[in-house]
């Protein structure tokens, strides 16, 4: 089956000796090119500013977290020091600070010691050949 032939317009011939001039596209105005370059610069500057702001925010968060961890460690050390101080005051018999309870002899509990037990013989270690467990 043959395809139908296309009609060729009269002014366009496949091997014509004349060159048909196509209309030239208008060059973009100079103001549009400058506007495009300015907007590109603004986009680059805003992107850089956004990255700097993000980096500063993350850096501040990291510093804040380190300082908060340091504060928690100081609080824990303070509690430990207060406990050690109270223990040492009680052990050394110093005058207690405000808010502490002074022990009296009536509050003392006496416990009688358990009777002494006979010593148990210790098992002797068995002699193992070297190397142990296949080493």
Question: Three-state SS string across 63-91, please?
Answer: HHHHHHHHHHHHHHHHHHHHHHHHHHHHH
Regions of the chain where pLDDT drops below 70: 1-16, 27, 94-100, 102, 128-135
Asked if residue 70 is part of any domain, the answer here is yes
Tell me whether residue 100 is in a domain: no
Say if 55 falls within a structural domain: yes
Residue whose tokens read 């060159």:
19
Total domain count, the chain:
1
Query: So what's the pLDDT on residue 129?
Result: 61
Cβ pair 20, 11 in contact under 8 A? yes
pLDDT at 44: 97
Residue 61 included in any domain: yes
The answer to the question of residue 117 being in a domain is: no
φ and ψ of 90, to 5 deg: -70, -40
Instruction: List the domain range (segments joined by +) for residue 44.
Output: 29-91
The pLDDT value recorded for residue 132 is 60
- Reading the block at residue 1, the tokens are 């089956």
DSSP 104: -
């Amino acid at each position: 089956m043959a395809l139908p032939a296309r009609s060729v317009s009269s002014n366009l011939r496949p091997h014509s000796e004349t060159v048909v001039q196509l209309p030239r596209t208008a060059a973009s105005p100079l103001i549009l090119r400058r506007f495009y370059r300015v907007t590109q610069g603004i986009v680059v500057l805003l992107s850089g500013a956004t990255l700097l702001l993000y980096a500063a925010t993350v850096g501040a968060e990291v510093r804040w977290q380190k300082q908060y961890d340091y504060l928690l460690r100081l609080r824990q050390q303070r509690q430990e020091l207060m406990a050690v101080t109270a223990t040492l005051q009680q052990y050394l018999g110093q005058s207690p600070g405000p808010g502490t309870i002074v022990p009296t002899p009536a509050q003392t509990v006496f416990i009688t010691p358990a009777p002494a037990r006979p010593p148990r013989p210790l098992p002797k270690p068995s002699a193992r050949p070297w190397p142990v467990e296949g080493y």
